[in-house]
A and B are shown apart, each in its own frame.
Chain A
Amino acid sequence: MDIAEKTLRLKQDFDDVFESGRKNWFDSYLSPKTATMGLFAGYGWNDSTFKPTCDIELTGYSPYTFYYCKVTDLVARLNECGVKMYCGTLSQLQNAFAYSAITTVPYLDLTNCNQYNNIFNNGTNIRTIEGIKVTSDKAFTSTFANCTSLVNLTIDGTIGQNGFDIHWSTKLTAKSIDSIVRALTTAKSGLTITLPVGAYNRHAERYGASVTEALWAEKRAYWSINELAV
């Protein structure tokens, strides 16, 4: 073995040890927990340091999960690492993405989450929430407050409580607006939702005035559908 081969071998050994240590640390860090509060909070977590080695289950009392985290495209990072992030039984996910650099949030099944309050609150860099699966018995209090960059959102399930407010997200696509309005319950009346200003017109431009009018009319018995300028 010449010196070049030895150097290469030494580097490989070093990398193997480093990767092994990293895997052990992550496996231990992500081992089953009863709560994941602040799991990846802080500046130290970025696209270089965030390399999970096993699936991430958000569980229990979990506010501030990615608070001030500097990871950018969370979906891409999870895909590159070959792992998934999913929600277990959650009591809280308040401010989970607040002041983080995260631009994309993976699909989150929130059906076992006790409340949806403030989940994306102050997630000012979030551009895409791949989807959220929700149930009609929980309110969306300040769930999307200050999500000023949000463009894409898919709602899977039913919005069934008063006060859903997403008016900060002025860049929402017509498709996202369509997903939100179609998710509004028709099982009970007396409810109010607040969309970004121009939402009705944006929907009409994309789907046609008659489709928009029919959709809004379908919900009118149950909802006041409002718009609010930032």
Chain B
Amino acid sequence: MTIEGNIITASEGMVLTNGENFATVVRLGDWDSADNWHEVSREEYEMKMAEQEEMV
């Protein structure tokens, strides 16, 4: 992932997560930190989404 100022951009094929939310671009709020975000693979993200969909 790349960090420019308050903007984090996910690497190709990856998705950013803070454990609760997912994003390909994060515009950090003043309260937030890049340390709160890490990358997961697109597959991991889609698996998580499928799980959530099943719960609905």
Interface residues of A (CB under 8 A from B): 94-95, 118, 121, 142, 145, 162-163, 165, 189-192, 194, 197, 200, 216, 219-229
Contacts and interface: CB of A to CB of B under 8 A. Distances in A.
Interface residues of B, number: 20
A95 B22 CA distance: 23
B28 to A, nearest CB: 5
A228 B24 contact: yes
B29 A194 contact: no
Contacts, number: 67
A121 B55 CA distance: 13
A223 B56 contact: no
A145 B53 contact: yes
Contacts of A216: 27
A216 B56 CA distance: 32
B20 interface: yes
Q: Which of B6, B15, B23, B52 has the most CB of A within 10 A?
A: B23
A142 B18 CA distance: 17
26 contacts: A145-B56, A162-B20, A163-B20, A163-B21, A165-B21, A189-B30, A191-B29, A194-B22, A197-B24, A197-B25, A200-B27, A216-B27, A220-B6, A220-B29, A220-B30, A221-B29, A221-B30, A222-B31, A223-B29, A224-B27, A224-B28, A226-B21, A226-B25, A226-B26, A227-B24, A227-B27
